[in-house]
Structure 1
């Protein structure tokens, strides 16, 4: 559950130099009849909606916050809990800055004859400037926080990641606006070239892990606001939560696909299975992490707990997250991935 840490796209255009994230449609050839797994490839696809990109950008930014702060804490304190920090405020700021970076990236066509200038100078400079702005937005009326040399290096490396990996990968995502259906298996599209297919399992796992970070940061920030009157809305989670949430949600999605599409079970019949699996998963992970002093939650002071690792007090929260899990799965089934051979051209 999110309260456990108490211790503390668009399609790319055919012009490779354009680089902008542009909408795309897969035309239906006259006389072609879609069949089998290629049906989705013949239906119109379009760019990811703006709200979906902003949602993903916020999760991605929170994930970077948690990753960097947890690694910094590990180096300073050697804490195996790997606690990291972010906030809903930072989530919003990351959504906006990621969106701005998307627009900046789309302007690389203006550097068609000077790609090195764009990738190694212009884009990193804009990225670093936005990160410094985020870090100082709370202290503009007090004192401007200076950025150390190490932080500049980290920001520069992240800027290269955004320009060479993140934006390029995002341009391979396309949105299917129709009613979600059971996705085409990954191996059924291997020989069909760049035809749209379901998101790879690894991508779904990463998405669920990032969403777990967002859930815990929001929950703990609200908890700190209510219990400690912390108006900074600082929230925290653990790097272990990424693996735990990512794997749990991945399995729950498989249950959803099997029980809903395979057996036709309704929500009321699926929920008890979700809940039993979630509690078993949380208990198993907590028991394993506790052996190494890495378990970041302890419910011993809560009623109806078992070994301090699970508690019925969080049952309403797990029910809500289980229902939302089905919503997320339906959204992901509307997203298609076009595999492309991305090469770095500087």
Structure 2
């Protein structure tokens, strides 16, 4: 099988990977938060079905930013700042729309740095480091996944 027979994941499949990753991450985060704040050993995590399209589309957008910013040789720190600004914009926008339908699953009003209950400054470090993690591991490796028959290792190249 030639390398040209391999087909990269489509945007729809990458959306799926990104959506599931965000969904699971949010469940794990809320479970950890519940344990830390309330010492709940059951680790009940929660999210909303809205998290799937929110994380999927957001990460596809970060993926496109990543490709353009790396091409322009923007350092990781600069990229992470841009991703964090994007994340706040996206979280506010999607929350604002969902709130109009009484469907917004988050409410940051108990936080001191909240704006309209839709975003909070307290999460800036989480969004910053989360976006770095997302670029370095999730986006990079998802873009390396291909459809096709397994490629057999060339034993002559092994040392």
TM-score normalised to structure 2 length: 0.88
* In the alignment, structure 1 residue 333 sits paired with structure 2 residue 157: no
Q: Which residue of 2 aligns with 1:251?
A: 61
SS of corresponding position for 1:265 = coil
Q: Could you tell me which of 111, 115, 124 is aligned with 1:302?
A: 111
From the CA coordinates, give the structure whose radius of gyration is larger: 1
Deviation at 1:338, TM superposition (A): 3.0
Aligned partner of 2:152 in structure 1 is none
Residue in 2 that maps onto 1:239: 49
Please give the alpha-carbon distance, in whole angstroms, between the structure 1 residues aligned to 2:78 and 2:33.
31
1:147-186 map, 5 Å: none
Q: Secondary structure at the match of 2:46?
A: strand
Once residues 229 and 240 of structure 1 are traced to their aligned partners in structure 2, the CA distance between those partners, rounded to angstroms, is: 27
> Equivalent residue of 2:47, what SS?
strand
**CA deviation after TM superposition for structure 1 residue 203, in Å:** 0.3
- Secondary structure, aligned partner of 2:56: helix
The total of aligned residue pairs comes to: 148
Post-superposition shift, 1:280? 0.5
Task: Indicate the structure whose relative CO is greater, using CA pairs within 8 Å and at least 6 residues apart.
Answer: 2
Does structure 1 conserve the Cα–Cα contact (< 8 Å) formed by 2:81 and 2:128? no
- Taking only aligned residues, the RMSD between alpha carbons, in angstroms, comes to 1.4
**CA drift at 1:272:** 1.7
Name whichever structure is richer in helix by fraction.
2
1:311-326 aligned at under 5 Å gives the runs 311-326=120-135
Name segments (4+ residues, structure 1) moved above 3 Å.
Answer: none
User: CA offset at residue 197 of structure 1?
Assistant: 2.2
C-alpha distance in 1, partners of 2:27/2:140?
A: 24
In the alignment, which of 262, 270, 283 is matched to residue 79 of structure 2?
Answer: 270
Q: Determine the C-alpha separation between the residues in 1 that align with 2:60 and 2:29.
A: 21
Please report the TM-score for the alignment, with normalisation by the length of structure 1. 0.41
* Alignment partners' CA distance in 2, 1:250 and 1:309: 22
Unaligned runs of 5+ in 1: 1-25, 28-39, 42-194, 340-346
- Is the Cα contact below 8 Å between 1:253 and 1:325 reproduced in 2? no
